[in-house]
Chains A and B, each alone.
Chain A
Amino acid sequence: MTETMIPQFPDYSIYAGLYVEVANSKELHSVVSNLPFAFIEADTICSREQLFSAVYKALIESSFNKQRTKTLNSECILSLSPTSNIGEAFKRFGISEKTSRIVVLSIVAKTEKAILEAKELIHGVGVDLTDEALESGYDLGLIKKVCSRCTQLFERLKKANLLLTTSRYIELQI
């Protein structure tokens, strides 16, 4: 996991990592709601831009509007989703019992103590969260399914290197 931050929100640390060949997703799936992480189905993430624009959006919503889920971590998963239905967002972008590649995300206020032991929880191989790693692993069919509203647009968006999340965000607010 690497630590970064959003320049506009220096009071939060953001930890992000990618795990592949995960063997215990069944177990993780059953406890994820009690952990201080967002476990994201990596097959639905095609770029760092997609991921971090969701983090940005979650911080904007919770700072200036209202947070709609229990934690900032879950708010990120909601931010990835093209609908405002929380259950659906988790089903689409959260991990399942069969997940083998996981993007782990944790937003921690600097005033809190970070307890980050994803490495010990996840039985898998940690790799760098790079665009190349995401690019090589994501599942176009799945993304098309989870982003149904953007289906036809996805390839063009991707080609134009456009922001899926930001575009969706705007569609949602219409």
Chain B
Amino acid sequence: MSKELIERVSNYLNNNVQIELISQGAEAVVFITHSHPYLPNASDDKEQYIIKYRPAKKYRHPAIDKALTKHRTLSESRILAKLSQIDGINVPKLIACDVYNGCIWLEFLGVDLPNQCGFSNLKNFLWMSVADPYSQLVEDVLIKVGRQIGLLQWNDYCHGDLTTSNIVLVPENGTWSAFLIDFGLGSSSNLVEDKAVDLYVLERAIISTHSSFADKYNQWIMQGFSQIYELHGKSGLKKLKEITRRFEDVRLRGRKRSMIG
């Protein structure tokens, strides 16, 4: 990360908030901190929080940049706040938000996997499980992932960037719960197309990183996804059919494109 950017973030957050960079994307930089943004006595070494910061882009006109930053920060925060209110959907809790500076604070989720397998996102978890790729545990986790996506879409939200790194597993009662993170490209949408594309993006992610087991894995995800729609009787089944049909179309389009490209 550039020195100038580090300086800007430290200036904004102040030296009382010690931060550690964990990810730098095109849109945002993500840090871990032990400081709670405002709760007295909540800051200690055991607690961690995520700070997601959207730095100003020099190549944009300042006024446009400001408006865009505000819009995107607000949009992500709003989706997180709305999703947190829906029973059963697992997303990080939004702790604080400063739309003027493009900064949000989130609950930190996940753990380090055993044996240096890395952070507990779905990608690393599947890598870790490669010795026993079709275990009951893997099946359970993927069904749960599918249910999260089902809940999201049943409530007419789309993630926009469903990769295996944006699904985080959190230990709970001896097993794992699936959480969805990074709603930077999320939207409220009831379009079948958006939903099908979400599913397709995840399917491609599974195929590209875990190709030998991808068929079964994607099947488990869709099993969990369908379970949510099946809870809603006839109208649920109708919507499920629309989405899975479109999903096939999107897949076909993707295949054609890759044949040409």
Contacts and interface: CB of A to CB of B under 8 A. Distances in A.
Interface in A28-64: 48-49, 52-53, 55-56, 60, 64
B38 A6 contact: yes
B101 A52 contact: no
Contacts of B87: 156
24 contacts: A4-B40, A7-B17, A7-B35, A7-B36, A7-B37, A7-B43, A8-B16, A9-B14, A49-B39, A52-B40, A60-B98, A60-B100, A64-B98, A65-B100, A160-B85, A161-B93, A163-B93, A166-B77, A166-B81, A166-B94, A166-B96, A167-B94, A169-B97, A170-B77
Contacts of B85: 153, 156-157, 160, 162, 167
Contacts of A136: none
B84 A160 contact: yes
Given A8-B17, A153-B85, A64 B37 contact: no
A10 interface: yes
Contacts of B78: 170-171, 174
Contact of B14 (A10, A60, A65, A157): A10
Contact of A64 (B13, B39, B101): B101
A162 B38 contact: no
B7 to A, nearest CB: 16
Interface string A145-174: 000000001001100111100110111011
Contacts of A60: 98, 100
Task: Give the size range of A's interface with the partner.
Answer: 20 to 34
Given A7-B43, A153-B85, A156-B87, A166 B14 contact: no
Interface of B: 12-14, 16-17, 35-41, 43, 74, 77-78, 81, 84-85, 87, 93-101
Contacts of B35: 7
A53 B40 contact: no
Of A16, A157, A161, A169, most buried by chain B (CB within 10 Å of CB) is: A169
Contact of A48 (B14, B40, B101): B40
10 shortest A-B CB distances, which residue pairs? A4-B40, A56-B38, A7-B16, A64-B100, A52-B38, A167-B81, A7-B35, A60-B98, A7-B17, A170-B81
Contacts of A166: 77, 81, 94-97
Contacts of A162: 81, 84-85, 93
